[in-house]
Structure 1
């Protein structure tokens, strides 16, 4: 669906505005040329007035040619016939030349119309290119359309004003998430300290108090994990600090080694020296979230497979796991915050930010994220990131 709610037309070739302008220019020129050719034909179709000959005036008494020799009269009639034929030939040549000239000018009008339309639409093409380049990460850029103050410049100024408002809205949202997360850490730390002090008091504690304190401590850890996820998400959407060449294979190996869940873990590292340029902390969080998500949302005694492939331009990290069967719509929803494999925002384990953080970090690094449900259950997540040259001596391809 398009933004206006109208489904796009499929199977129809897209006609550019430049082609429509060119067709309009050429059509108007040809129509005016046809009208001009009709006017020329109308005026050229009249006969040439000549002095009356003997055939028209006769040879009776009072005729101007009375008494003229017969040879002279025949000569005059022949000249009249030749003059009429010459006039007809001249008319046909004039019409033929005009038609050929009209065709030549029609072809030339297409070229001139194409050039003129391109000149007129050049600012619009520049605005389209700049608007496509601008995203949530570079809303500070502006179109800055120059030239005369016309309708196209008004459109560019309007888009710049919209970008200014969007930039302010995005910045306010990110500041709110970051500030709220920071401010909530202090009371959480205070509550955690109070629970620890209660549990550390000398003397026996009632079992109910100890169980309740353990539950509170677990929930506090869960909220702390949620705040940490929100901070990471806001950081990934705001900036990309301290970029460096990071080997994804090592991060994947560390993430798998850190897991203690009873699942079968396999690393198929087909590009051990492949590196991507980015922030090491964010990329480590991306890999850890993918592995944690694959382990947590798994079946008992399940399996996790991590594959790494690379070519000269990109590095692909694929994480697959077993588990319950998901639909395509459910898989598409998993990158939204607080989604845990179902339509609701509650229930399940984890903060619901794991794949949302993966999507934000991937976008911040100029990569692509693809989620595909497996037919026999589980999920296949593929992250493709631009490859960066590594140290000398590293393998070129997998």
Structure 2
């Protein structure tokens, strides 16, 4: 969020640098012209021997009278020179002040015209996100430095688009291909355990452990697919979705697990205005992961508080749990894939490490965000904000 602001400040700094440069150049040119004009004017004044206007020299009758007349004329000529020099200096100062203002204005205009193509490229590049890498700047014009920069950015976007597409294909293909041998392994295990001969206890225990591990791998692959879809395949369009109803459905579906751990579910604020828009499958999975995280990483006899609401233009969902004090630095990393807190802090070492990363990816895909905060009293606060919609059509999953 801060990067565009820094770029904008940088662009204004460059513009002011260009303004100062062009303004100084215009000002120096004007000052040079004024200096030349003053030098030429002073030289012309010095070379002028004409009598001042209004004085008609009379032919002197004697040498003394001629000398007196000469001194008078020189005194008056000196006064005229001083007056002309003063007027020329005042005019030069006024002209220089006007030239300074004009120079700054011209410098700013020229700087704006020089940087206009760069601002256009910057604005177009900001509008291109990971979901529309197919867009290009396509700057038209002569083959100059600006067009070369735009073509370089277009080439970079093309390589990024190919890289993102290859990543999506790899994750999807790998997940699907790995499910085939997993299904075969599970079927072979079931066939081996279904034989009529008595199965040793150790073999049965090993089979149960293998089934559990196969289920874990299957959940991991499903998490990969959901994460890839949320990061690169989610669309902002979709049906209206009620966060409050989805939370209630998720808690009801996990009532057995909540009761098994003796957890207390506190009824938080449930605001029926907390509606958003998106893919119900992804949004339901986001909420399910938040509830699963609260149930799985909770100690026996703990508590869970869920709340939904609307704040301004945002729909909010908050899930809080009690527990030991957590480190905020470690909590902030939980939105990244395969990041877990230690088992002694969470009370469990289960999970794929993708739950909250999927929550973050889904929230970001629909213009929202995930906030993870360690509660001062102990435990974790997970909050999701999404764009609020007033349309209450559609049935939430």
> Shorter-chain TM-score: which interval?
0.7 to 0.9
Post-superposition shift, 1:74?
6.3
Distance 1:101 1:67 in 2: 49
1:273-304 alpha-carbon deviations (Å, 9 max, x no partner) = 32111110000000110111111112221111
Post-superposition shift, 1:77?
5.3
**Does the aligned pair in 1 maintain the 2:291–2:319 contact within 8 Å?**
yes
Distance 2:216 2:50 in 1: 115
What does 1:1-398 align with in structure 2 at a 5 Å threshold? Answer: 16-46=13-43, 47-50=46-49, 65-67=60-62, 78=72, 80-240=74-234, 243-259=238-254, 260-261=257-258, 262-342=262-342, 348-391=349-392
Post-superposition shift, 1:181?
0.6
Distance 1:49 1:187 in 2: 109
Runs of 4+ with >4 A deviation: 12-15, 72-80
Distance 1:360 1:69 in 2: 108
Post-superposition shift, 1:88?
2.5
**Does the aligned pair in 2 maintain the 1:244–1:278 contact within 8 Å?**
yes
Gaps in structure 1 of 5+ consecutive residues: 53-63, 393-398
1:100-150 alpha-carbon deviations (Å, 9 max, x no partner) = 112112111211211111111111111212222222222112222222221
Distance 2:125 2:11 in 1: 20
Query: Which structure would you say has the larger RCO, counting Cα contacts within 8 Å and 6 or more residues apart?
Result: 2
Post-superposition shift, 1:85?
2.2
When normalised by structure 2's length, the TM-score is: 0.85
**Does the aligned pair in 2 maintain the 1:362–1:385 contact within 8 Å?**
yes
SS in 1 for 2:305: strand
Greater helix content: 2
**Does the aligned pair in 1 maintain the 2:15–2:111 contact within 8 Å?**
yes
* Cα pair distance change 1:14/1:300, threshold 3 Å: farther
* Cα pair distance change 1:18/1:234, threshold 3 Å: same
**Does the aligned pair in 2 maintain the 1:298–1:324 contact within 8 Å?**
no
1:226-255 alpha-carbon deviations (Å, 9 max, x no partner) = 111111111112222561111111111111
- Partner residue of 2:55? none
**Does the aligned pair in 2 maintain the 1:249–1:269 contact within 8 Å?**
no
When normalised by structure 1's length, the TM-score is: 0.85
Distance 1:151 1:267 in 2: 62
Count how many residue pairs are aligned between Structure 1 and Structure 2. 370
SS in 2 for 1:137: helix
SS in 2 for 1:308: strand
